[in-house]
Amino acid sequence: MNIGVLGAGQLGRMLALAGYPLANRFTFLDTTGHPSAGIGDVMIDTDRKHLDAFLEKVDLVTYEFEHLPVSLVQAIEEVKPVFPSSEAIRICQNRAEEKALFDRLSIPTPAYRLVEHADELEAAARELGCPVVAKSVTEGYDGKGQAVLKDPSEAHEAWCAINHPRLVVEAFVDFVREVSIIAVRGRDGEVVFYPMAENQHEDGILRYSIAPMPDLDPRVQQVADGYIRTLLDELDYVGVLTLELFQTRDGALLANEMAPRVHNSGHWSIDGAVTSQFENHLRAIQGLPLGDTSARMPTCMVNVIGREGEMAEILALPDSHLHRYDKSERPGRKLAHVNLLAPTHEALLERVRACAALLPDAPAPQFSFA
């Protein structure tokens, strides 16, 4: 089967690598003019002149990046099956729609307000109590389009810095850790869940993900499974969905945002799970049986950001698996990731610290259970 992928970055690259053993072929449609997949058949189409040629080559379409024109996805749906659907992408790329969906499905979130003017931002900051985080309603990812207000007087400066006509303003949460739940729903409605991951961010970009979490109450996993299953069923979703959450001191979970695709916090599954998120996404969209999502052993994904460092030394670490994206170095750019495995979480943390010491500017891992 020839699978069309909207977007041509590292997520598409890893989808293709997972799909070749299934005899899948891949055609990527890049709408940015800067593809980096380096694999499969890449078509650059910044003005939709090549869309028909793309659709003639593929049997079905998925995407690795949700910041796409909804009208483009809807137009493709008229011709070929698209998984996940345009409705999923419409909601996930708009934080106001996403918050409304969470509210409707009784999935708790941090307190928030929607604002359309700097004065409204200031009022929301006073009402919610600083610090607050202001985010553009659309187009923000990896920390972009955001500002933290430590005082309401900073509202006008933040408004100008974000430069977006509508913002969502969120109260800060006293959380013990950031976590994510990844689930897969097949075309027949079957759902499987990956073990929850604990995530550590740096400047809004994911740096470490560890799964499974050694100190996770099974009831918390069940709550997360319930939240994401509700979302999957409501959207009649097919494929991998990710839900990022805050875990508070009393064990409660608050939804931050969701992503309608394979996700950075699931990269650990390539080497650490029986079936990776990439293979399971491909199984789901083709109507194939879903694979086992259980972890083989404790695993940590380490993102390589900005500069690569000495890759040979990283490969020399025990049970180290390097996945390079064939990208040039640039501050803040995701260049690769390393999956580290160990029989115990204590041994795993030692390997993660050793790996971090080999990466330029990498912060020390600070997991809640360490």
The rounded average pLDDT for each run of 10 residues, N- to C-terminus, in the chain (370 residues) is: 96 98 97 92 90 96 92 95 95 93 97 94 93 88 80 93 93 94 98 98 94 94 97 97 95 95 98 98 98 98 94 96 96 96 97 96 89
Contact between 292 and 139 under an 8 Å Cβ cutoff? The reply is no
For position 309, what pLDDT does the model report?
A: 86
Q: Cα separations (Å) of 177 from 133, 248, 265, 303, 364? A: 17, 7, 14, 18, 16
For position 140, what pLDDT does the model report?
A: 62
For position 141, what pLDDT does the model report?
A: 64
How many Cβ atoms from other residues are within 10 Å of residue 317's Cβ?
A: 17
Q: Cα separations (Å) of 241 from 77, 89, 131, 193? A: 19, 11, 30, 10
Contact between 179 and 215 under an 8 Å Cβ cutoff? The reply is no
